[in-house]
Structure 1
Amino acid sequence: MKFFIDTANLDEIKEAYDLGVLDGVTTNPSLMAKEGIKGDDNVRAHYKAICDIVDNNVSAEVIATDYEGIIKEGKELAKIDDKIVVKVPMIKDGVKAIKHFTSEGIRTNCTLVFSAGQALLAAKAGASYVSPFIGRLDDISMDGLTLIEDIVGIYQNYYFETEVLAASVRHSMHLLECANIGADVVTCPLKVITSLLNHPLTDKGLAQFLADHKKVNS
């Protein structure tokens, strides 16, 4: 499974990269705004700064919702760096744009996916990644993990190359269940990834080892 970090914070991205487990970054306008990044030029410069940290897979989201606008903006984003994956919304013009980008060798991430049918359309259009938002489904009392399982099954049935990128991951159990189901990628905050480090028996065992070492070396 690939680990992406869902943020625009450069310090968090570097921390995740230095941990040695980071495979990519996803961002969106809300995350950019949270970091105080405003204006097209500043946003693109920030994407470039992210690309300079990581090895690959930086999802950069278009703002346009019409076909021509998505194509224009997506091509501009793709020029920033070869690591850029153009993030396109799951709408009719978005699906059309994904098909066009695919024909030109531009990688895409179809975002705001909430059904298996939407995921099937994105894969048919050639999306590199499809992003089902499991946490947001859980918020309205629907089972986001079941959606991941359904999409994984459909893609396996028909040998689609589109990777399932589980998004809106809220906690470590979300992440681990996605891994168990077979999602190709998970994107989440840094704290979800680092929470995998923790176990009380690890802490207890380490404390005992250090205490025993102190006894024999004092």
Structure 2
Amino acid sequence: MKFFIDTASLSEIRLAQNLGVLDGVTTNPSLMAKEGIAGTVHVHAHYKAICDIVDGDVSAEVISTDYSSMIEEGMLLAALDNKIVVKVPMTEDGIKAIKYFSTKGIKTNCTLVFSAGQALLAAKAGATYVSPFVGRLDDISVDGLALIREIRTIFDNYAFPTQILAASVRHSAHILGCAKIGADVMTGPLQAIFSLLKHPLTDSGLAQFLADHKRVAAQSNN
């Protein structure tokens, strides 16, 4: 499973990249706003800075909601770097835009997916990724991981090349659940990725090893 980080923070992206397990980045207008990035020129420059850090795909979301404007905006984003994946909302115009981009060889990420039917439409239109929002479904007491399982079955039935990008991942249990089900990609915050490092037995075991080493070293010096 690929690991993407869901952020627009360059410092967080560098930390994840330095860990050696980062495969890509997803962003959205809210994340850009959180970093104080506004205006087309600044947003595009920020995307280019992200692409300079990572080796894999970088999802850049269109702000437009109508077909023609999505195409215009998406083409500009795709021209920034060959790592850019144009992120398009799951709407009627969004599906039409995904179909257009797929005919032009431009990678796309269909976002705000909350049903298997939506994922199927996006795959039929040629989306590179579909992004079902696991955490947001959990927030309304719907099993987000069950949706990933449904989509995995459908895509496998018909050998769709579209990758399942589990989004709105909140914690390590989400990551492991997605991995067990067979999501192609997960995207989540830095803390969720780093949480996989932690286990109390690892900490206590390392402490014991170091204590034993220190004791034996002290004895050998006597």
Indicate the residue corresponding to 2:94 in structure 1. Answer: 94
Q: CA deviation at 1:178?
A: 0.4
Matched, 1:209 2:191: no
Q: Distance in 2 between matches of 1:5 and 1:178?
A: 15
Report the aligned-residue RMSD. 0.4
- List gaps (5 residues or longer) in structure 1: none
Indicate the residue corresponding to 1:151 in structure 2. Answer: 151
**Residues 177-209 of structure 1, C-alpha deviation per residue, up to 9 Å, x if partnerless?**
000000000000010000000001100110000
Indicate the residue corresponding to 1:180 in structure 2. Answer: 180
Question: Residues 34-53 of structure 1 correspond to what in structure 2 (within 5 A)?
Answer: 34-53=34-53
Question: Residues 63-142 of structure 1 correspond to what in structure 2 (within 5 A)?
Answer: 63-142=63-142
Q: Distance in 1 between matches of 2:72 and 2:103?
A: 15
Q: Could you tell me the TM-score, scaled by structure 1's length? A: 0.99
**Residues 46-89 of structure 1, C-alpha deviation per residue, up to 9 Å, x if partnerless?**
00000000002000000001110000000000011000000000
AA aligned to 1:188 is G
Partner SS for 1:73 = helix
- List gaps (5 residues or longer) in structure 2: none
AA aligned to 1:185 is V
Partner SS for 2:36 = coil
AA aligned to 1:95 is I
Partner SS for 2:196 = helix
Partner SS for 1:197 = coil
Q: CA deviation at 1:216?
A: 1.1
Q: Distance in 1 between matches of 2:180 and 2:56?
A: 24
Partner SS for 1:217 = helix
AA aligned to 1:14 is R
Q: Distance in 2 between matches of 1:159 and 1:187?
A: 23
AA aligned to 1:125 is A
AA aligned to 1:112 is L
AA aligned to 1:201 is L
Q: CA deviation at 1:137?
A: 0.6
Q: Could you tell me the TM-score, scaled by structure 2's length? A: 0.98
Q: Distance in 2 between matches of 1:28 and 1:157?
A: 31
Percent of residue pairs identical: 73
**Residues 129-185 of structure 1, C-alpha deviation per residue, up to 9 Å, x if partnerless?**
000001111111111110000000000000000000000001100110000000000
AA aligned to 1:67 is Y
Q: Distance in 2 between matches of 1:11 and 1:140?
A: 32
Q: CA deviation at 1:217?
A: 1.0
Matched, 1:194 2:156: no
Q: CA deviation at 1:21?
A: 0.2
Structure 1 runs, 4 residues or longer, greater than 6 Å off = none
Q: CA deviation at 1:20?
A: 0.3
**Paired residues, number:** 218
AA aligned to 1:72 is E
